Amino acid sequence: MSELAIGGIILVCVYAGALVGMLLRHRLPDHHLTAESKDVVKVGAGLIGTMAVLLLGLLIASAKASYDTKRGEITQMAAKVLFLDRILANYGPEALEARETLRHMLERAIVQIWPGDRSQKAQFDPTANRGDQLFDVLEKLTPTTDRQRQLKSQAEATAMEIGQMRWLLLVQRESTVSTPMLVTMVFWLAIVFLSFGLFAPPNTTVFVTLFLGALAVTGAIVLVLEFDQPFGGVIEITSTAMRTALEHLGK
């Protein structure tokens, strides 16, 4: 299910809480709507609202940290690919096949992580783009000087780091947002909006205000879900770093 669809469900749940509160307003006996009762409801709603805000802040911080981590990994990977290409360029013309293999590997990785068809999910499995082929080509290099031996060793270490980062992206693709935590927060927000509707007069201004409030908190939750899926959706990690590296390969 897409993030926008989940956001729509959350919006309905939260706003429905306000409508239920308005419905209860007309069904409860008058002694349930006294000033003292209103104060107790306000205190309870304030407590629940505070917990919901803290939980939402925790989710946003966690999702944003995960997003920034993956974006940093993509940038580092692009830089390491460029660095590996320069190492192979300094090795000499014997490394031409390795440089071509590196280019093809990067091209396939870009297509797999950022597919042209938006309906397809990002693919992070290094074996899917024959990433091991680069190690085979590097292994074939036969250095004849101390400098070439040093460059080959450095190239193999850099290629190993790139491979490790690809596998790291693969194991990090699972969602960091806990479903029970998300459901709990939506339940709390629905209770808070129910308390709003319980003492709110049923007029257009109140309906619009409560809807905008529900829309605002839903937007925050959708933001969390978007950060949690950094290779799809609206807030997507761009392929600029990788494409920039691809443009400079072989030069």
Task: Look up the pTM and report it.
Answer: 0.80
Closest CA to 217 of 25, 43, 53: 53
DSSP string of 156-224?
HHHHHHHHHHHHHHHHT-S--S-HHHHHHHHHHHHHHHHHHHHTS--SHHHHHHHHHHHHHHHHHHHHH
Residue type, 218: T
Q: What's the confidence (pLDDT) of residue 130? A: 60
Q: What integer pLDDT is reported at residue 146 of this predicted model?
A: 92
Q: In this predicted structure, what is the pLDDT of residue 24?
A: 85
Q: State how far the Cα of 203 lies from the Cα of 160, in Å rounded to an integer.
A: 65
Phi and psi at 142, nearest 5°, equal -115, 95
Spatial separation of the C-alpha atoms in residues 165 and 167, rounded to whole Å: 5
* Domain map (residue ranges) of the chain: 3-26+35-248
pLDDT tens per residue, the chain (251 residues)? Answer: 678 888 999 999 999 999 998 888 887 787 777 787 888 888 998 999 999 989 888 888 888 888 998 999 999 999 999 999 999 999 999 999 999 999 998 988 888 888 876 667 777 766 665 667 888 889 888 998 999 999 999 999 999 998 888 888 888 777 777 888 889 999 999 999 999 988 888 889 999 999 999 999 999 999 888 888 888 778 888 899 999 999 988 77
Give the pLDDT confidence score for residue 117 in this predicted structure. Answer: 65
pLDDT given for residue 188 in this prediction? 93
